[in-house]
Structure 1
Amino acid sequence: MRIARWEHDGTIGEGFVVGDQVVRFPDRLTVADVLRMGLAEVPWIADAAAGAAESEPARRLPLAAVRLLPPVVPPSVRDFVAFEEHVEGVVRSVSGGQGVDAEWYEFPTFYFTNPHSLIATGDTVRPPQTERLDFELEVAAVIGAVPGSDGTNLDPDEAGAHIFGYTVFNDWSARDIQGREMKVRLGPCKGKDFATTLGPWIVTADEFADRHDDEGFLPIGMEVLVNGVRIGHDLLSNMGWPFAELVAYASRNSRVAPGDVLGSGTAGNGGCLGELWGRTGSLSPAPLVEGDEVVMRVEGVGEIRNLVGPPRPAPHIGPARTRPRTRPDTPVVTSFPAPATTG
């Protein structure tokens, strides 16, 4: 099943995509509510939505008449770096190095990105001032509740049950800003957090139940086009770890919660321009510029497309000031007045 959020006539709707229509959830349910209920509850919710739409036709709208929104409002967004081929190319692009560091193979590394900068398919991306704007072709898993589990310290089998569904994920990147930040040994931050596309909807995990291979990987096709030209394509099964293991690692000594989004990391074979720049030794293909259209398609999930708009201006912040590094000569003592008493 496909689950979406949309805007129509100034109001937000949440529900199912059925053929070429959208159908609201029953009982004022939201996507967040359904994720907290879990994947096992979706069939009866779908039946109830269909019944409500029969008696109240306004609950059903043409898909072409609505503006799709990001399909989830996540409490957190983790983005992994799970494709070895992508890492190879980016290492060459950033540092001129060869190969992949041994540490990459030990655990599936991720960073937290900005849940407040999500955009939808059809939106215009407004980048910062950058000379190296890039896309990243990814798939994301969306977490749902599992009865009796708090999402902590999951093993891979338990973690797989927490995957409610999948959506297409574009981790927009300003590579020049990102490169500067990474030299500080922390990040990425502002090179990444200005925009992330999620969409067009969530396809529930049961749609892929018979597609996993013996190791749990999903061999589904992915591709990205810029201005109609195919730049990259890959199989999701070329990840170094299947999604269940990514979720398990995210939950280690922590917790995954309903609504959390976990990106696969960028596909190889042209899943981003940065990888190709590393392989060609030049900025070819060229960085994205205003007016470019980026389209991503994932087999069985759907398509997202965005136009690149003008850069978004930001207030100036100057460089760090060199400070004298003076210290107090005596221990710091704090004291507070005694609390007032009442008679």
Structure 2
Amino acid sequence: MRFARYERTGPAASAGPTAAATAVVVGEPGEERLHDLRAGTTLLDLAAAGLDEAREAAAWAERSSPAVPLDRVRLLPPLQPPSVRDFVAFEEHVEGVARAVSGDDGGVVPEWYDAPTFYFTNPHSLVGAHDDVAVPPGSRRFDYELEVAVVVGAAGTNLSAAAAREHVFGYTIFNDWSARDLQGREMKVNLGPAKGKDSAATLGPWVVTADELEEHRDDDGYLALGLQAFVDGRRIGHDLLSNAAWTFEEMIAYASRGTWVRPGDVLGSGTCGNGGCLAELWGRTGRQDPPPLAPGNVVRLEVEGIGTVENRVVAGPELTDLPVVPRARDRDRRRARVTEGALP
């Protein structure tokens, strides 16, 4: 099953409400159509309810809701996740980007091999499969990242990898757009990335339920999905999802350690290797070729078994048009007042 979230556009908008709707997607590529789920049902509801309930919801939609052609809608991010964790599971990517972003030629740090590291990114910055993406203010080294994300179903804590398989609802494409120059400055403070990854992340075009992709699982338990990235029609990168160092189940298990994963949580695989982003190539060759993304570039990402997202890069606001953020003030350790009970 495939589930999408959309709003009507063009002439179709006059045929019904323009509020976002969640629908099951049916039909072959190029002939997709959407059938709305019961009013008010979201992908978060389906993820929490599980695959059996999702099948019933999809069957009801196909029987009861009129078909809406895909070309009459704007696809939105398929869900509004409570949290987004982005892992860094591809060794080849880590090796190349370390050189491009921080100038580190020491290879992959030993700590990377110990556990599937992740950071929390901005769930409010998600954009749809075909939305325009603005260059972040102040950035001159804008980049895409080709990833797959897993959507968590049932809640869980302190899961094993084997148990985590029962907590997978589905998968989608994730493009973690990156301002490499902002990222490089921030990560020197050892708290990044922050604004370097804050402006946009594409999620879509829909969520494919876990059962649909089981046929792609290899003997080692990895999903062997083909991944491709194109800029203006030129293929820049390609890889297999099965080249990740950890499975999604292992990532979910690690994320749940000492805390909870909840229905609708999104976990990105991290960027694949072999041109999964521009920065990896910059780090390997020592030059910015292909060049950073600029307004007018079109980035298309394709994932076998899931689909395609395609976004046009547009100009964003200039720093000169935004409120000034001052530099840190000079440190002053004077303490002019001692409060009662303060330490000596």
Identify whether the pair has TM-score above 0.5, normalized to the shorter chain.
Answer: yes
Greater CA drift, 74-83 or 60-69: 60-69
1:296·1:303 contact (CA, 8 Å) conserved in 2?
A: yes
1:75 CA drift (Å): 0.5
Q: TM-score normalised to the size of structure 1?
A: 0.92
1:27 CA drift (Å): 5.1
Distance 1:5 1:71 in 2: 5
**Pair 1:38 & 2:58 matched:** no
1:122 CA drift (Å): 1.3
* Unmatched runs of 5 consecutive residues or more in structure 1: 335-343
Greater CA drift, 308-317 or 181-190: 308-317
1:137 CA drift (Å): 0.4
Q: How many residues align?
A: 325
**Pair 1:95 & 2:106 matched:** no
Secondary structure, aligned partner of 1:278 = helix
1:113·1:192 contact (CA, 8 Å) conserved in 2?
A: yes
Superposition map of 1:13-32 within 5 A: 13-19=21-27, 20-26=32-38, 28-32=40-44
Which residue in 2 is equivalent to 1:110? 118
Distance 1:219 1:332, change over 3 A: farther
**Pair 1:233 & 2:242 matched:** no
**Pair 1:2 & 2:10 matched:** no
1:64 CA drift (Å): 1.1
The Cα RMSD (Å) is 1.4
1:312 CA drift (Å): 2.4
1:328 CA drift (Å): 5.0
Which residue in 2 is equivalent to 1:282? 287
1:70·1:118 contact (CA, 8 Å) conserved in 2?
A: yes
* Unmatched runs of 5 consecutive residues or more in structure 2: none
Q: Deviations over 1:201-229 (max 9, x none)?
A: 00000011222122210111001000000
Secondary structure, aligned partner of 1:28 = coil
Secondary structure, aligned partner of 1:11 = coil
Distance 2:292 2:135 in 1: 12
1:188 CA drift (Å): 0.4
| Residue type at the aligned position of 2:43 | V
1:30 CA drift (Å): 1.7
1:41 CA drift (Å): 1.6
**Pair 1:75 & 2:82 matched:** yes
Distance 1:28 1:270 in 2: 40
Q: Deviations over 1:114-137 (max 9, x none)?
A: 000000111111122211000000
Greater CA drift, 230-239 or 22-31: 22-31
Q: TM-score normalised to the size of structure 2?
A: 0.92
| Residue type at the aligned position of 1:180 | R
**Pair 1:306 & 2:311 matched:** yes
Greater CA drift, 83-92 or 311-320: 311-320
Greater CA drift, 241-250 or 42-51: 42-51
1:26·1:52 contact (CA, 8 Å) conserved in 2?
A: no
2:214·2:223 contact (CA, 8 Å) conserved in 1?
A: no
Distance 1:332 1:63, change over 3 A: farther
1:199 CA drift (Å): 0.5
Of residues 186, 194, 202 in structure 2, which corresponds to 1:197?
202
